[in-house]
Amino acid sequence: MDGSFAKPPLTGEGMHALAAELYPICRSLTGDGVRRTLARVAREVPLEIVEVPTGTPVLDWEVPREWNIRAAWIETLDGRRVVDFADHALHILNYSRPIDMVVSREALAKHVHTLPQQPDLIPYRTAYYADTWGFCMAHRTWEAMTDPEYRVVVDSTLEPGRLTYGELHVPGTTEGDILVSLHVCHPQLANDNLSGLVVATALAQRLLNGPKRRLGVRFVFLPATIGAITWLARNEAAVDRVRHGLTLSCIGDPGPFHYKRSRREDAAIDRAVAHVLAARGVEHGILPFSPYGYDERQYCSPGYDLPVGCFMRGVHGTFPEYHTSADNLDFIRPEALAESLSVLAEVLDLLDADVTYARTDGGKGEPQLGRRGLYRQIAGQKDQGGLDQMAVLWVLNLADGKHRLLDMAERARMPFAKVRAAARACEEAGLLEVVPDTRR
């Protein structure tokens, strides 16, 4: 990237405004809603749009038929609409086949989805691989529908087309990449969809505006499950470059942070996220790996076993707004989006700076620091930018060609930034050199 495309990173308010712009669009696994969404993101960052034809084999799957919808409603026989897709995209069972017929209330009941325990909310339901149709509505609405018959209309298409995803690679100076993956297939769900999308967009803008980094960062904007499977099937060379990875979801709500570890459980990404959250002193939870959740389960499948964890605030399935109409623009907050962006930027910065050092003098004894000016820097530690003496001593002791900076920070129980500052000062003084580290 030459930086010519780069826009200033979105603020918290800017991310929320972008989410508001995208919120009304009906997205799904495929179709024009995904294309419209990615086209809007491509105005912020140089996103490459990829389309894969229906029927294309991808691992054990194949790309499904493309679904688009124009309208859907339920009306009384005198023409009064009681449920209308135009009012909320969640009203339609996602991937419903077209239909126009009069049905009894009893027959309609088999195609109606509600939440009796949350009677005022519309649930989000899908039928991606089932040849069926359906409507979702507030339970109170369904209880009020007492007519013996209703006309149901779904004006949709389900036919051969394409699956669409977006990709952006910000190259680094090495052959390694950090993968940042998010899903773009949920309609009118602000936290469980758009929060990850807008934060990833702002994060990409930050990288495009900044200096070249050691590690590249590859962003993939995908429909869930089938999108990640399609990307993996088509990108063997890119997969081999992945050194660390994160899936992003539900990072716009004001709740505490949560991180689900990768399948490896102790990969550098797992330790980096835990370190950053702990050093910030924010409320958070670290969760064990599970083969259920978002697309980390695809990246962490045994044939790949990539070091990819899931970064969240609210944990999927555990908060009352999840997959309901309550997951709206009021549920996500500009300040929460901005904080999520800040944490992720710090994690990426840590990973980029997490190199392995060795002593240039062979590590025999403690080097003389005074004649190298390091004690003057340590003496100024009360001033901004001064070095921490213990950080310097730990770095000089562990710089044996086997320890990365994160290893040192964990061993010393110090913030990564202090250890990194000490290592850089020692490197500038000629005491340390970066050595290759092929660990993944």
Q: What's the rounded Cα separation, in Å, for the pair 286 and 308?
A: 14
- If 0-12 CB within 10 Å is exposed, 13-18 middle and 19+ buried, where does residue 1 land? middle
In contact, 182 and 196? CB cutoff 8 Å: yes
| pLDDT value at 385 more than 60 | no
In this predicted structure, the answer to whether residue 382 has a pLDDT above a threshold of 90 is: no
Q: CATH 3.50.30.90 occupies which residues in the chain?
A: 66-159
| CATH topology for the 12-63+162-353 domain | Aminopeptidase (3.40.630)
Distance CA 319, CA 314 (A): 7
- DSSP track, 186-229: -SS-IIIIIIHHHHHHHHHHHHHHS---SSEEEEEEE-TTHHHH
Average pLDDT over residues 408-421: 96
Measured between alpha carbons, how far is 42 from 27 in angstroms, rounded to an integer? 17
- Phi and psi at residue 409, in whole multiples of 5°? -60, -40
**In the predicted model, is pLDDT for residue 413 greater than 60?**
yes
Query: Where on the phi/psi map is residue 211: left (φ > 0), alpha (ψ -120 to 50), or beta?
Result: beta
How do residues 334-352 score in pLDDT, each as one tens digit?
999 999 999 999 999 999 9
Topology annotation, domain 66-159 = Glucose Oxidase; domain 1 (3.50.30)
171 vs 180: CA distance, rounded Å: 13
pLDDT tens digits for 8-48?
Answer: 999 999 999 999 999 999 999 999 999 999 999 999 999 99
pLDDT tens digits, 218-275:
999 999 999 999 999 999 999 999 999 999 999 999 999 999 999 999 999 999 999 9
pTM of this structure: 0.95
**For residues 184 and 162, what is the distance between their CA atoms, to the nearest angstrom?**
15
What tokens does 123 get?
């649930």
CATH 1.10.10.10 domain position(s) in the chain? 356-435
Which residues are known binding-site members? Answer: 186, 192, 323
In the chain, list all ranges with CATH 3.40.630.10: 12-63+162-353
pLDDT at 378: 76
Q: Which residues are annotated as a binding site for Zn(2+)?
A: 186, 192, 323
The CATH classification of domain 356-435, taken from the options 1.10.287.1040, 1.10.10.10, 3.40.50.2300, 3.40.109.10? 1.10.10.10
In whole angstroms, give the CA distance from residue 366 to residue 372: 13
